[in-house]
Chain A
Amino acid sequence: MTAASTSTASPARKIGWLRSPSLVAGGIISATITSAALLSFLWTPYPPLAMNMAQRFQPPSLQHVFGTDQFGRDVLSLLMTGAQSSLAVGVVAVAIGLVIGSALGLIASARGGWIDEIIMRMCDFLFAFPAVLCAVMLAAALGAGMGNAMVAIGVYNIPIFARIVRGAAAGVWVREFVLAARTSGKSSTHIAIEHVLPNILDIIVVQATISFATAILAEAALSYLGLGTQPPTPSWGRMLHESQVFLSRAPYLSIFPGLTIVTMVLGINLLGDGLRDLLDPRYARER
Chain B
Amino acid sequence: MNRLLLYRLASWALTLLAITVIAFLVLEILPGDPALVLLGPDAQPDTLEALRQQLGLNQAAVVRYFEWMSGLLRGDMGTSYTYSIPVSELIGSRLKITIPLAVLSTAIAVGLALVLGMYAAARHNRVGDYGVMAVTQIGVAIPSFWLGMLLILLFSLTLRWFSAGGFPGWEAGLWPGLRALVLPAAALAIAQAAVLTRVVRASVIEVLNQDFVRTARAKGLTRAQALRRHALRNALIPVVTVIGLQFGHLLAGTIVIENVFSLPGLGRLIFQSINQRDLMVIKNVVVLLAVIVITVNLIVDLLYLVIDPRLRHAS
Q: Knowing A133-B252, A240-B145 touch, does A128 contact B150 (C-beta < 8 A)?
A: no
Query: How many chain B residues have a CB neighbour from A under 8 Å?
Result: 50
Q: Are B15 and A124 in contact (CB under 8 A)?
A: yes
Chain B 16-64 interface residues, beta-carbon cutoff 8 Å to A: 18-19, 22-23, 26-27, 30-31, 37
Contact of A258 with B15 in the complex, beta carbons under 8 Å: no
Q: How far is the CB of B91 from chain A (nearest CB, A)?
A: 15
Q: How far is the CA of A125 from the CA of B290 in the complex (A)?
A: 9
Report yes or no: B143 in contact with A140, Cβ–Cβ below 8 A. no
Which chain B residue lies CB-closest to A127?
A: B248
Q: What are 15 A-B pairs with beta-carbon distances under 8 A?
A: A127-B248, A128-B290, A128-B293, A133-B255, A136-B286, A140-B274, A141-B27, A142-B31, A213-B141, A217-B143, A224-B145, A225-B256, A261-B143, A262-B141, A262-B143
Shortest C-beta distance, A125 to chain B (Å), equals 5
- B186 CB within 8 Å of chain A: no
How many residues of A sit at the interface, in one of the four size bands? 35 or more
Establish whether residues A266 and B137, one from each chain, have CB atoms under 8 Å apart when the complex forms: yes
A231 in the interface (beta carbon within 8 A): no
A248–B164 Cα distance when bound, in Å, is 11
B113 contacts chain A at the CB level, 8 A cutoff: no
Q: Is B31 a contact of A141 with CB atoms below 8 Å? A: yes
- Chain A interface secondary structure, helix, strand, loop or mixed? helix
What is the CA–CA distance of A133 and B23 in the complex, to the nearest angstrom? 11
Contact check, B252 vs A137: say whether CB atoms are below 8 A apart: no
Is B11's CB within 8 Å of the partner chain A?
yes
Query: Which A-chain residue is minimally distant from B23 (CB atoms)?
Result: A137
Question: When chains A and B are docked, how far (Å) is the Cα of A144 from the Cα of B274?
Answer: 9
Q: In the complex, what residues of B have CB within 8 A of residue A244's CB?
A: 149, 260
From B293, which residue of chain A is reached at the shortest CB distance?
A128
Closest 3 A/B residue pairs (Cβ): A130-B252, A258-B146, A265-B141
B289 at interface (Cβ–Cβ under 8 A)? yes
Contacts of B289 in A (CB 8 A): 133
In the complex, A185 Cα to B291 Cα: how many Å? 47
Known: A136-B286, A251-B153. A128 touches B19 (CB 8 A): yes
In the complex, chain B residues whose CB is within 8 Å of the CB of A121: 11, 14-15
Contacts of A240 in B (CB 8 A): 143, 145-146, 149
CB distance from A281 to the nearest CB of B (A): 18
Complex contact B149–A137 (CB within 8 A): no
- New contact pairs (15) apart from A240-B149, A254-B146, CB-CB < 8 Å: A121-B11, A121-B15, A125-B15, A128-B294, A129-B290, A130-B251, A132-B255, A133-B289, A139-B274, A141-B27, A221-B144, A225-B255, A258-B146, A258-B149, A258-B150
Q: Which residues of A contact B253 (CB under 8 A)?
A: 132
In this assembly, does B142 line the interface, its C-beta being within 8 Å of a C-beta of chain A? yes
A240–B271 CA distance with the chains assembled, in angstroms: 17
Q: Which residues of B contact A266 (CB under 8 A)?
A: 137-138, 141
Cα–Cα, bound, A286→B301 (Å): 28
Taking the closest CB of chain A, its distance from the CB of B57, in whole angstroms, is: 15
CB distance from B255 to the nearest CB of A (A): 5
Interface string of A247-261 (1 = CB under 8 A from B): 110010010011001
How far, in whole Å, are A125 and B277 apart by their CA atoms in the complex? 26
Q: Give the contacts of B283-303 with A (CB-CB under 8 A).
A: 286, 289-291, 293-294, 297
- The minimal Cβ–Cβ distance linking A144 to chain B, given in whole angstroms, is 8
Partner of B293 from the list A130, A237, A254, A263 (CB cut-off 8 Å) is: A130
CB distance from A133 to the nearest CB of B (A): 5
Question: In the complex, what residues of A have CB within 8 A of residue B26's CB?
Answer: 137-138, 141
Q: How near does chain A come to B254, taking the closest CB pair, in angstroms?
A: 9
Interface positions of A from 195 to 249, Cβ below 8 Å from B: 213, 217, 220-221, 224-225, 227, 237, 240, 243-244, 247-248
- By the criterion CB–CB under 8 Å, are B153 and A137 in contact? no
- Please indicate the chain A residues that have their CB under 8 angstroms from the CB of B101 in the complex: none
Q: In the complex where A244-B149, A247-B153, A265-B141 touch, is A133 in contact with B256 (Cβ < 8 A)? A: no
List the A side residues contacting B19 at CB < 8 Å.
125, 128-129
With known contacts A128-B290, A132-B252, A142–B30 Cβ distance under 8 A: yes
